[in-house]
Amino acid sequence: MKNDLILRVIAKLLIPFIVMFAVYVQFHGDFGPGGGFQAGVILAAAVIFYALIYGLADARKVVPESVVESMMALGVLLYVGVGIAGLLLGGNFLDYFVLDPDPVHGQHRGIFWVEAGVAITVSGVMLKIFYMFADRGKADE
Amino acid sequence: MAVTVWVIIQSRNLFSVIVLGGIYSFLMATVMVAMDAVDVAMTEASVGAGISTVLLLGALYLCRSEEAQPMRKPWLPLAVSVAVAGLLVYGTLGLPEFSDPQAPIHVHVAPRYLNEVKQEVDVPNAVTAVLASYRGFDTLGETTVVFTAGAGVIALLRRRRRDRQS
Amino acid sequence: MTIGGHFTYFITIFLMIAGLFIVIARGNLIKKLVGLGIFQTSVYLLYLAPAKLVGGTAPILSPAFTIYSNPLPHVLILTAIVVGVATLALGLALVVRIREGYDTIEEDEILALDAARDREAQAS
C-alpha cells in the first residue's frame, strides 16, 4: 500500500490529527467524556494505521519493540507508584488527598497521573498485540 | 442490531462475520449514547469496532479458512437457548421498570457520589471521578489485567530464534 | 409491570441468547469468539439500561442540569469492555496456535484429530 498515492497522502494528513485527538481525549477526560482507556486505544489505532499504510518495518523504526514493551510495564508501575506515594505521605494506599496541601488539588494530581498510567499501558498493550499478530504472518512466508 | 446478529448467525464467510461484528459494535455504541452513557459509548466504539475488528482480521489472515457446513441440524442447542431465554424472561419480570427513580440502584450510593463530587474531587466528569478516585483500586486491577493479557499474548506468539519449525 | 417498561430487558435477552447460540452451536473457533463478543455486549446493555433516567442527562456535572443518569454502572462497564478485549486478544492468540498445530479451526475436526492421536498413542 506504500505505492498508492491517495492512501499515502490521506494517511499523512490524518495521523497527526488522530494523535492530537488522542491527547485531547486524555486530558479532557475530566471535563467531558474520555479518559485513559479511550485515549490509549486511539493512540494505538494511529500507529496501527501508520503500520498498515507504510509497512511493518517502517512502523518498527518509528515505534521500536523495546519502547512498546517498556510502555506496557511503565503504565502499571506509574499507577502503583501513585498508590505508594499516597502511602509514603501518610495516607492509605491510593489516597490522593495527601498528595498536596490542598486536598482537592491533590485529587486532581492523583487522577492526572493515574489516567496517564492507564493510557500508557493500554496503548502499549494494543500495539504490542498488533505487532505480534502481524509478525507471525510474515515469518510464515 | 437484531438483523445484524441474525446475519452473523447465518453467514459462513468469516470476513463478512467480522465486518458485521464491527457494524454491530457501532450500533451498540449508538444505543449507549441514547442511554446517556457517553464515556462507555466512546470506549465501545473505539475498542469494539476498532481494535477488536483489527485483531480478528489479523487472526483471520493467519488462519485463512471459511466455516465448514454444519453436519447436523442444531436442535439441541436451539432448545437449550430457548429454555434459557424462557428462564431469563421469567427472571426479569421482577426487575424494576425502565427509568424508575425509586429503583434500588438510584437510591443508595449514587446520590452520595453525585452530590459529593463537587466538593471532594471537583472534576465535572462524574464517571472519571468515580473510576479514578472513588473506585481507583478496581482500575488498578483492570490495568493489571490488560498488562497480563499483553504478556500472555507475547508468551503464546513469541518466536524463538533457533528452532523455526515449532 | 408493563411490556413497555421491560422492553430493554427483552432486547438484552435476545442478544444474549443469540450470542449463546453462536458459541454452542457453531463449530468455527473464530465465529465462537465473535459470538462471545455479542454475549458480552448484551451484558453491557443489561447494566446500562437500568442506569438511565428519562429526562436526565449524561453524568457530567454542570450548572445547567439537575438530574443525572447513574454513573456507577458506567464505571463497571468501562472496565468490562477493556477486560473483554483483553480476553479476545488472548483467545485469538490461542486460535492462531491451534491453527498451526492442527491445521484447522473447526471444532469437530480438531476433536477427531485428537481422538485419532489418542488412539495412535494407545496402540503404540
Give ∠ CA B1-B5-B6 in degrees, rounded to 5. 115
List the subunits that have 3+ CB pairs under 8 angstroms with A.
Answer: B, C
Report C:19-78 residues touching A (Cβ under 8 A): 58, 60, 78
Compute how many other C-beta atoms are within 10 angstroms of the C-beta atom of residue C124. 5
pLDDT of the residue at B83: 86
Cα–Cα distance for residue pair C32/C27, rounded to 1 Å: 7
pLDDT of the residue at B166: 44
Task: Say what percent of chain B tops pLDDT 90.
Answer: 13
Report A:13-42 residues touching B (Cβ under 8 A): 25, 29-35, 37-38, 41-42
Q: Is A136's CB within 8 Å of C96's CB?
A: yes
More confident residue, B70 or C58: C58
Residue of A nearest to B130 (CA): A111
* Furthest C-alpha separation in chain C: 79
Q: Could you tell me which CATH number the domain at C4-123 has? A: 1.10.287.3510
In DSSP notation, C19-41 reads HHHHHHH--BHHHHHHHHHHHHH
Min CA distance, A3 vs chain C (Å)?
30
State yes or no: pLDDT of C3 exceeds 60: yes
pLDDT digits (tens, 9 = 90+) for C71-88: 888 888 999 999 999 999
Residue A23 pLDDT grade (very low, low, confident, very high; cuts 50, 70, 90): very high
Residues B6-34, mean pLDDT to the nearest whole number: 86
pLDDT digits (tens, 9 = 90+) for A93-125: 877 777 777 778 888 888 888 899 999 999 999
Place of cell 492421536: C117
Task: Say what percent of chain B tops pLDDT 70.
Answer: 84
Which of C60, C82, C93 shows the shortest C-beta gap to A37?
Answer: C82
A111 contacts on B by Cβ (under 8 Å): 121, 123, 128-129, 132-133
Residue B15 pLDDT grade (very low, low, confident, very high; cuts 50, 70, 90): confident
Interface probe with B: pick from A24, A56, A125, most Cβ of B within 10 Å: A125
Residues B32-50, mean pLDDT to the nearest whole number: 87
Residue B105 makes CB contacts below 8 A (sequence gap 6+) with B96, C50, C51, C70, C72, C73
pTM, two decimals, is 0.86
State yes or no: pLDDT of B114 exceeds 80: no
Cα–Cα distance for residue pair A62/A51, rounded to 1 Å: 10
- The answer to whether A90 contacts chain B (CB < 8 Å) is no
Residues B77-98, mean pLDDT to the nearest whole number: 80
Q: Is A133's CB within 8 Å of C58's CB?
A: no
pLDDT digits (tens, 9 = 90+) for A68-97: 999 999 999 999 998 888 888 877 787 777
Residue of A nearest to C95 (CA): A133
pLDDT of the residue at B163: 44
All cell numbers assigned to A20? 492530537
Residues B40-60, mean pLDDT to the nearest whole number: 89
Which of B55, B121, B128 shows the shortest C-beta gap to A129?
Answer: B55
Give me the amino acid identity at C71: P
Place of cell 475488528: B53
Q: Is C78's CB within 8 Å of A37's CB?
A: yes
A129 contacts on C by Cβ (under 8 Å): 89, 93
Min CA distance, B30 vs chain C (Å)?
12
Residues B112-124, mean pLDDT to the nearest whole number: 76
Which of A104, A110, A126 shows the shortest C-beta gap to B51?
Answer: A126
Residue C39 pLDDT grade (very low, low, confident, very high; cuts 50, 70, 90): very high
State yes or no: pLDDT of B82 exceeds 70: yes
Crossing angle of helices B2-10 and B14-34, in 10° steps, is 160
Q: Is A122's CB within 8 Å of C82's CB?
A: yes
State yes or no: pLDDT of B162 exceeds 60: no
Task: Say what percent of chain A tops pLDDT 70.
Answer: 94
pLDDT of the residue at B102: 65
Cα–Cα distance for residue pair C103/C109, rounded to 1 Å: 10
Q: What is the mean pLDDT of chain B?
A: 80
Task: Note whether A50 and A127 are within 8 A (CB).
Answer: no
User: What are the sequence ranges of the domains in chain C?
Assistant: 4-123
Q: Is B153's CB within 8 Å of C41's CB?
A: no
Q: What is the mean pLDDT of chain C?
A: 84
pLDDT of the residue at B165: 46
Task: Note whether B151 and A130 are within 8 A (CB).
Answer: no
Q: Is A137's CB within 8 Å of B61's CB?
A: yes
Place of cell 453524568: C59
Q: Is C28's CB within 8 Å of B101's CB?
A: no
List the subunits that have 3+ CB pairs under 8 angstroms with B.
Answer: A, C
- The answer to whether C94 contacts chain B (CB < 8 Å) is yes
State yes or no: pLDDT of B95 exceeds 80: no
Residue A47 pLDDT grade (very low, low, confident, very high; cuts 50, 70, 90): very high
Residues C77-103, mean pLDDT to the nearest whole number: 89
pLDDT of the residue at A30: 82
